[in-house]
Amino acid sequence: NGKKGALFSTLIRLSNTYGKPVENDAIFIDFQLTNTEIANLCATSREMINRMLNDLKKHEIITFDKGFITIHDLQFLKNEIACENCPLQICRID
């Protein structure tokens, strides 16, 4: 799934590792990250991550504030990359 798949997979794994449920079935990732750090996790450029994150924000899939990301539609991310719903012990960032 290319760069988009790398980002979506990273967001899913971050939600499994650091996610805390909040209102409206959203998931708050309780770990502060810069776009450069996310780009490093995805093995791509910061500019590409900026574009993809802004696109997700525009479509109300995520919001971000001061390095913290809230995922509002986790199922969208999973559907886009045909997530196989691996066990949480495997689908994590450690």
Asked, for residue 88, whether it belongs to a domain, the answer is no
Asked, for residue 91, whether it belongs to a domain, the answer is no
Number of structural domains in the chain: 1
Over the stretch 1-57, which tens digit does the pLDDT of each residue have? 789 999 999 999 999 999 999 999 999 999 999 999 999 999 999 999 999 999 999
CA distances from 30 to 4, 48, 81 (A): 22, 23, 23
Over the stretch 44-94, which tens digit does the pLDDT of each residue have? 999 999 999 999 999 999 999 999 999 999 999 999 998 888 877 788 887
Residue 63 CA to residue 76 CA, distance in Å, equals 14
Asked, for residue 65, whether it belongs to a domain, the answer is yes
Which pLDDT score is estimated for 55?
97
The residues with which 64 forms a beta bridge, in sequence order, are 69
Which pLDDT score is estimated for 87?
79
Asked, for residue 30, whether it belongs to a domain, the answer is yes
Domain around 47: 2-80
Residue 55 CA to residue 57 CA, distance in Å, equals 5
